[in-house]
Amino acid sequence: MKNKHIQAQNANGKIIKGLFALGGTWVAIFSPIILVIMAFIIPFGDATTRSYVLKIVTTEIGKVFLVLMISLPIWCGLQLILTILHEHKIYPKREKLLFLGLALAWTLHAIYILFIRI
């Protein structure tokens, strides 16, 4: 009985660790691109450049990209904050519930803002 409980707990841990790893990979690949677009192309571009960016963002694929750009770095960052706290021997009560709940709330809020709210 105890062995089955440990296996179920490890299966959930793999999904969550996968989200953390995916968040780090996503940040490493797409953040430089977004920073270049926001820092150089949009401010120094003309009005047509801005309108093309807005047209892309208002499509469904653009909204999915924005949800991933908002939520996946949060999953990665919260895991790193938890790791740093553990290195300094700080162990918050209900840490997994706190950090996973915060990441999930952030993700659901991004989904609500981009897809549900008009």
Domains and CATH numbers, the chain: 2-116 (1.20.1300.10)
Assign 12 a pLDDT band (cuts: 50, 70, 90). Answer: low
pLDDT tens for each residue of 22-73: 888 888 898 888 888 878 877 887 767 778 888 888 899 999 998 998 898 8
Displacement of CA 13 from its chain's centroid (Å): 17
Q: What is the mean pLDDT of the chain?
A: 83
Q: Is this structure's pTM higher than 0.85?
A: no
**Side-chain-side CA neighbours of residue 91 (13 Å):** 1
What pLDDT is attached to residue 4? 55
How crowded is residue 82: how many other Cβ atoms within 10 Å of its Cβ? Answer: 19
Residue 60 corresponds to which tokens in the numbers above?
């469904």
Query: What DSSP string describes 50-114?
Result: HHHHHHHHTSHHHHHHHHHHHHHHHHHHHHHHHHHHHHTT---TTHHHHHHHHHHHHHHHHHIII
